[in-house]
A and B are shown apart, each in its own frame.
Chain A
Amino acid sequence: MLNESLFFSAVLFTIGVVGVLTRRNAIIIFMCVELMLNAVNLAFVAFAQVHGVAGQVFVFFVMTVAAAEAAVGLAIIIALFRHKQTVNLQQINLLKG
């Protein structure tokens, strides 16, 4: 089932990338990043079945990093919304100069 898992993982990762590139809502883009992390986790788990359990340990670490990222990222989004009253990334251009 390794090839099928890698296929599903590739398709999910691609959907995440396309979402990041085509959407402007900051929260949706953030959820697309989570989808990409999940796709990578699927590949890790599929490889763990064939090449040893270390892949599952890595999934554990990826999930921890994702949880930390969600906490900080959503705090940033709330701070941005308080500042600009929107989460549309086109209207958030503080660093454009």
Chain B
Amino acid sequence: MPQGDFPLFYAFHFYLFGIVAIVSALLFVTRKSPVAAALWLVNTMFCLAALYILLDAQFIGAIQVLVYAGAIMVVFLFVIMLLNLGHPSELADARSLGWKLAAGFVGLALIAEVFALTRVRVPDSLTLPPGALAADIMQNGAIAPIARPLFTEYLLAFELTSILLLAAIVGAVVLGRRRADVE
């Protein structure tokens, strides 16, 4: 979406979806029931898809909804329901206070690290002129600017990804199979 046309509209939706994503993520880690947690995570992923579209990544936003919020989270929910983990006896799973304090300190350290990184000046030669990506998308469509590098510069990585997916499929089938000699 071109940022310059409606700056206030753009900023309002950007902050709205960002804040909803963070609130949903907080609710996600604090829910006791795995089903509720998974549904809050789906909400976070939808908000991230909206942020991607606001950041000129329309294709990635669509893929986020299809692959993450659709396929991956459905597999998670399927496993939660298959293993019947929704009942309350499994729920006392939070660790002790010491672990929580340690997690808080690690979190603060990570946030401080990223704030330090945002202060770094990137050389201007690496920076596109403002609106260059949006203009490219307006001219060539949302998919062509990603497809071009994907099938030229990154073709080897793309082919290796297909081998990785094949290995994952075989691994999942082997791990999920019930062994005849045990049962």
Contacts and interface: CB of A to CB of B under 8 A. Distances in A.
If over half of A's interface residues share one DSSP class (helix, strand or loop), that class is named, otherwise mixed; here it is helix
A78 to B, nearest CB: 6
Contacts of A13: 110, 114
Interface of A: 1-19, 21-25, 27-28, 30-32, 34-35, 38, 41-42, 45-46, 48-54, 56-57, 59-61, 63-72, 74-79, 81-82, 86-88
Given A45-B60, A50-B128, A56-B60, A18 B29 contact: yes
Nearest to B11: A1
**Per DSSP, are chain B's interface residues mostly helix, strand or loop, or mixed?**
helix
A45 B55 CA distance: 7
Given A48-B57, A57-B146, A60-B146, A6 B90 contact: no
A61 B165 CA distance: 11
B41 A14 contact: no
A14 B150 contact: no
B72 interface: yes
Contacts of A6: 114, 117-118
12 contacts: A2-B118, A12-B21, A21-B95, A25-B34, A34-B68, A53-B136, A61-B157, A67-B67, A75-B171, A79-B176, A81-B83, A86-B90
Nearest to B31: A28
5 tightest A-B CB contacts, nearest first: A68-B168, A21-B103, A10-B114, A75-B175, A19-B29
A38 B45 CA distance: 8
Contacts of A87: 83, 85, 90
Interface in B65-95: 67-68, 71-72, 75-76, 79-80, 82-83, 85, 90, 93-95
Interface in B147-178: 149-150, 153-154, 157, 161, 164-165, 167-169, 171-173, 175-176, 178
B98 to A, nearest CB: 11
Contacts, number: 223
B161 A61 contact: yes
Given A22-B94, A57-B149, A79-B175, A10 B34 contact: no
Contacts of A63: 63-64, 67-68
Q: Chain A CB within 10 Å — which of B55, B68, B80, B149 has the most?
A: B55
Contact of B3 (A1, A27, A59, A65): A1
A73 to B, nearest CB: 9
Given A53-B146, A67-B72, A76-B175, 14 more contacts: A4-B18, A6-B114, A8-B21, A12-B25, A15-B28, A21-B106, A24-B93, A24-B95, A27-B79, A28-B93, A45-B55, A63-B64, A74-B76, A79-B175
